[in-house]
Amino acid sequence: VVVPELSNVQFVLSFALRQPTPEDVVFYAAGRFVNWSVYLGLPSDTVISLANEKAASPVLKAECRYWQGRQAYYIDRWKDAEKSFKESLKLFEEVDDEVGQARSLRWLGNAKRLLSDTEESKMYFGRALMLYRSMNDISGEADILLSWGGIQVTTDDVNDAVKYLTRAMEIHKLVED
């Protein structure tokens, strides 16, 4: 990993976000930057915090809160992640964005699982699963089933775990073909 290049991207995004009215694409780039910076082990709140402050539309605010949640999740700040995902979920519901709702619910379920709240985790996964199915998003459905299977393994419900994990693998295989 070449850190100077990541710093350059951070500088450019920060500069663009400091403009009076940043273009919408800059907010989506900020989200992707969060994803990459966390992946590379160099998370920084600077870009996504600026994006969150400058976001004017509910959709952009929802996306920023979602990406703040993803960053918090990956650096083990699960309570912060939970808060951000709940905020993004509310905003996505306000604008009737089902994809955003499903993503927020999925990650809320993941955060709640890590916070040892199995029942709420299942509830969020269940809601996400219903949304993914209503949108015919089989990849999203498979990801939820995989996460749900992971919960079942930790609760010693091996039969259900095998059922969910097997179905998730079947769906992923369908997507690959």
- State the pLDDT at residue 150: 80
- State the pLDDT at residue 93: 98
The 10s digit of each residue's pLDDT in 18-34 is 887 778 888 788 888 88
Residue 162 reports pLDDT greater than 80: no
Cα–Cα distance for residue pair 148/35, rounded to 1 Å = 23
> Quick check: 92 and 100 in contact, CB under 8 A?
yes
Cα–Cα distance for residue pair 44/46, rounded to 1 Å = 6
Residue 96 reports pLDDT greater than 80: yes
Residue 156 reports pLDDT greater than 70: no
Cα–Cα distance for residue pair 33/125, rounded to 1 Å = 26
Q: What percentage of the chain reaches a pLDDT higher than 90?
A: 43
- State the pLDDT at residue 19: 82
Least confident of 15-19, 23-27, 98-102, 159-163: 159-163
- State the pLDDT at residue 52: 82
Mean pLDDT of the chain: 86
Cα–Cα distance for residue pair 33/36, rounded to 1 Å = 5
Cα–Cα distance for residue pair 90/18, rounded to 1 Å = 26
